[in-house]
Structure 1
Amino acid sequence: MAWRPLHEGHAIERVRVTCTFQADIRLKFTQRLAGFVEAKRSNFQLGPMRELKGQGVVVQVGPNGAVNAKTEEAIGWTFQRTLPDQRVVESVSFENGTLSYEVAEYTRWAPFHQRVVALLEDVVEELSTYDDMAVLALEYFDRFVYQGPANESDPRAIFTLDSKMLPAAALDAGHLWHVHRGWFEPSSRGALLVNQNLDAQDGEFNGKPARSVAVMTKVEARSTHSQLSSASLTDCLPEMHTRSKQVLQGILEDDTIGMIGMRND
């Protein structure tokens, strides 16, 4: 039996770009931001805006003293593209100060990057008149699925998991496991924060139970280390993409790199 990437030719399950702002952004301003996406959503096959709601608390004073009452309040919005089975495959969202773009149909970097800039750039420009961007992050979610019994699924066949990352005893019996690592490193635009999580998971794939390993690789630029703006979507993201690939390649066996067709783009 063997490990296989989630898709034929690549392992990417989804990709997400987030732009985080720290100010408490007013609801009216949030609604104005949605207008930028609304104006072009039909060109990107996105559905209509859906309001995102969360719970708030209202303090009411009555004859027996103060009483906290939970309320539902708007906290943002989302535009989504869905398949006929209602699975969400693409979304642009703004929630609690974070603007995000996420897609589950990634193909190549160039069209993905072009779409991110087209959808988010003017929204970020408008947000920047209200507050400076604090964090720009790029996250890749990859998955490898084992074609056989979970207790035979030795991840060392695809990952360079030496004893510094995970003890052999944790792998030999086919147990579930988790690795988290992160660090700051220099870049041409200031320090980048790199995070990587590896999770062995049991689930269902193609209607059958299977063991898989999910890999999240995140590269993050912060305003404390570099100047962030709407131009960062064009200038910084390509460097973050390249670094994400390098970090992923660093934990993959050579055969795995070939199996997923990892290219320089």
Structure 2
Amino acid sequence: MWKMLHNENAIEGAAMTVRFAEPLSSMVAKKVVREIEGRASDAGFFDRQPLQQFQFQLDGKDVRQSSVVGMVFQHNKLIRDAAGNVAPQPARHFVVQPEQTVMQIQRYRGWEIEWPDAVKLLGPTLSIAAGVVPIAAFRLEYLNRFIFDGPEEEGSVTDLLQKSDFVAPHVFEASDLFHSHTGRFDDVSSSSRRLTQVNADLQILNVPHPTAGNRTLALMLAVERQFSGPGLEMDPGEVEEVATKYFSCLHDDIHALFKKLVDSEFASENNLPQ
């Protein structure tokens, strides 16, 4: 029998990404990091770690690790494991890089909570960046995980997935593990297009993952709005309104996509979008 990763939903992780049309200069990236450092603790992000990169010489003999102008801010949450032990676990990461900024969510609490919390840091970041560079893309993605708690030979995804253009036909006949990765571009307007991606992977994960030993279906859904030409220019005073509009549309698109992929009977039984 298939079941969700959590009682309330199947979401193992989510990410909201804003890509810039060109990298932020070192000066602007440092300004963004300083701004977020002043706001992070109020948003629950008490840990931080500078980003690192490796540099290679052309002759391949010299490899050095160096810092880039970027930072990862981490929000921890106390979690009780199966043995009853309580320990801090990452709940969210906010990543600032010259090329993009990302809110990564490991403990999803619902869109009506996650977006207002995300914009507390995304808003100030984009207010600074939008005065310098246009936006290349907004991207929203969800990783859903479903667990089969019966014998492996009975773990067919025909009871979980519907046939769709975004799922390769062989997965409905496969008796073993599989991968199905698909994507498609659709024109939205003369200045933008939408990228839709669906990755379906039947896996058996190892310890320490909580589903270790069971067949699981990882269903990654992503929708991205890409802007052509120089990118989308935004007034720094309007970034929160504009970002909210685009990410709300992406959220609606992913909901509609989810309904087309997950079996309607399973969705009804588990109070999922249908």
TM range (shorter): 0.7 to 0.9
Deviation string, structure 1 residues 21-64 (Cα, Å, up to 9, x no partner):
142433343222112221121222112331010111357xxxxx
Aligned equivalent of 2:82: none
Give the alignment's TM-score, normalised by structure 2. Answer: 0.83
Structure 1, unpaired ranges of 5+: 60-65
Identity %: 18
Pairs aligned (count): 256
1:133 corresponds in structure 2 to: 135
Letter in 1 for 2:65: E
Using the TM superposition, give the Cα deviation of residue 5 of structure 1 relative to its aligned residue in structure 2, in angstroms.
Answer: 0.6
Q: Is the 8 A contact 2:183 2:198 kept in 1?
A: yes
The CA deviation at 1:165 is 4.0
Mapping 1:173-252, distance limit 5 Å: 174-187=175-188, 190-204=192-206, 206=210, 208-224=212-228, 227=232, 229=234, 230=239, 231-252=241-262
- Deviation sequence 1:239-258 (CA, Å, 0-9, x none): 11011011111011112212
1:77 and 2:71 are equivalent in the alignment:
yes
Aligned to 2:148: 146
CA RMSD of aligned residues (A): 2.7
Aligned to 1:15: 14
Gapped regions of structure 2 (runs ≥ 5): 79-86
* Cα distance change of structure 1 residues 208 and 23 upon mapping to structure 2, 3 Å threshold: closer
Structure 1 pair 163–110 and aligned structure 2 pair: CA distance change class (3 A): closer
Question: Does the CA-based 8 Å contact 2:73-2:93 persist in structure 1?
Answer: yes
Contact 1:222–1:228 (8 Å) recurs in 2:
no
**Secondary structure in structure 2 of the residue aligned to 1:148:** coil
Q: How does 1:51-90 map to 2 (within 5 A)?
A: 51-57=50-56, 69-75=62-68, 76-83=70-77, 85-90=87-92
Amino acid at match of 1:51: P
1:153-176, CA deviations, whole angstroms, 9 ceiling, x for partnerless residues? 0110011137994446x5556311
SS of corresponding position for 1:87: strand
**Partner secondary structure for residue 214 of structure 2:** strand
Secondary structure at the counterpart of residue 93 of structure 2: strand
Q: 1:35 to 1:257 in 2, by over 3 A?
A: same
CA contact (8 A) 1:9 1:259 kept: no
Partner AA of 1:10 in structure 2: N
With structure 1 as the length reference, what TM-score do the two structures score? Answer: 0.86
Does structure 2 conserve the Cα–Cα contact (< 8 Å) formed by 1:14 and 1:106?
Answer: yes
Work out whether residues 134 and 228 of structure 1, in 8 Å CA contact, stay in contact via their aligned partners in 2. Answer: no
Contact 1:151 1:173 in 2 (8 A): no
Which amino acid letter does the alignment assign opposite residue 19 of structure 1? V
Give, as a single letter, the amino acid of the residue that structure 1 aligns with 2:153: N
- TM-fit CA distance, 1:142: 0.5
- The equivalent residue for 2:102 is 100
Question: Which residue pairs with 1:115 in the alignment?
Answer: 117
Task: Label 1:110 to 1:165 Cα distance change in 2 as closer, same or farther (>3 A).
Answer: closer
Rounded to whole Å, the distance in 1 between the matches of 2:72 and 2:95 is 4
